[in-house]
Amino acid sequence: MRRILIVNGPNLNLLGKREPEVYGTDSLDDINDRLIQCAEDLKLQVEFFQSNSEGAIIDFLHKEAGQSHGLIINPGAFTHYSIAIRDAIVGIDIEAIEVHLSNIYSREDFRHKSVIAPVCRGHIVGFGAEGYFMALAHFAETKKED
């Protein structure tokens, strides 16, 4: 069974508890529960990781990359400056999809630039939690093509 990493960056652990008008009332655990369900339906295995630390995310990517087939990553604020995570994605040579809950292009100017996007296969922005499911479905889809 294909194994997909689902990584969330800083402050995404606050999901559902804070600013629900922006990010909805579902917690990250709620979303992850639904993602497990969905993954099962799609015959995929998912591995979750959330951290507020850039280094921890890189460590996780290094450790898990070998036995995984895809990466869904919402880098949160790291989107805009973590060249280290960018380099990690290139270094582990995995197909990655960048997901953002809100439309970063209708927010502050400094959120319009992703240093992660150029090294991902795809980029899904603005669909809330649905973005993770679209990305997961993509990995199920490409699996079928193998």
Could you give the residue ranges of the DSSP H alpha helices within 17-116?
20-23, 28-41, 54-65, 83-92
Distance CA 76, CA 94 (A): 19
Question: Residues 28, 58, 72, 136: which binds a second copy (CB under 8 A)?
Answer: 58
Q: Return the structure tokens found at 85.
A: 């995570």
CA 31 to chain centre: 12
Question: Residues 9, 32, 39, 70: which binds a second copy (CB under 8 A)?
Answer: 9
Q: What is the DSSP letter of 26?
A: -
Query: Which span (26-34, 41-49, 116-124) binds a second copy, by CB under 8 A?
Result: 116-124
Distance CA 20, CA 6 (A): 22
Nearest distance, CB of residue 46 and a second copy, angstroms = 18
Is 121 near a second copy (CB under 8 A)? yes
Among all residues, which ones are annotated catalytic?
23, 100
The residue ranges that bind a second copy (CB under 8 A) are: 9-11, 13-14, 18-19, 51-56, 58-59, 62, 76-78, 80-84, 86-88, 90-93, 103, 105-106, 110, 112-115, 117-127, 130-131, 134, 137-138, 141
